[in-house]
């Protein structure tokens, strides 16, 4: 596999809740108004220490998108997805950006979202329709 290089961030950091690997900075949040199967999710302009899975077409609440799941490079946990292509003109701002599920990460203060009240039923931008 080769040597693993991990980027260490400075500032208000979101990290993988399983292995604490740095994933993103608070200042790179584009939107906190996303949802996934597990509840809240945040759109980031930049994430680090992730690998990108296979591209696939997904019908989401906001229309058809080409996306790929993203994984923590240290523990392999799925932490969200990356937008490759948005087909609706008002969704183009998502292209090249990544969504991290709040349920899968620790916040800058070390907090985790893992309570059952964060679970939601129904399709969302993280769910296949």
- More confident position, 107 or 120: 107
Give the mean model confidence (pLDDT) for residues 45-61: 96
Give the mean model confidence (pLDDT) for residues 33-37: 88
Q: Are 71 and 43 in contact (CB under 8 A)?
A: no
What pLDDT sits at residue 74?
A: 97
Closest CA to 61 of 18, 122, 3: 122
pTM assigned to the model: 0.84
Q: 122 pLDDT exceeds 60?
A: no
Average pLDDT, the chain: 87
What pLDDT sits at residue 112?
A: 76
């Amino acid at each position: 596999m080769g040597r693993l290089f991990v980027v260490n961030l400075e500032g208000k950091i979101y990290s993988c809740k399983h292995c604490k690997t740095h994933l993103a900075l608070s200042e790179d949040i584009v939107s906190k108004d996303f949802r996934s199967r597990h509840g809240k999710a945040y759109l980031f302009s930049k994430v680090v220490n992730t690998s990108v899975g296979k591209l696939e077409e997904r019908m989401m609440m906001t229309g058809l998108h080409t996306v790929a799941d993203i994984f923590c490079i240290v523990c392999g946990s799925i932490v969200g997805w990356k937008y490759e292509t948005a087909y609706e003109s008002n969704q183009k701002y998502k292209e090249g950006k990544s969504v991290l599920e709040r349920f899968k990460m620790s916040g800058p203060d070390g907090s985790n979202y893992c309570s059952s009240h964060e679970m939601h039923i129904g399709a969302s931008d993280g769910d296949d329709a």
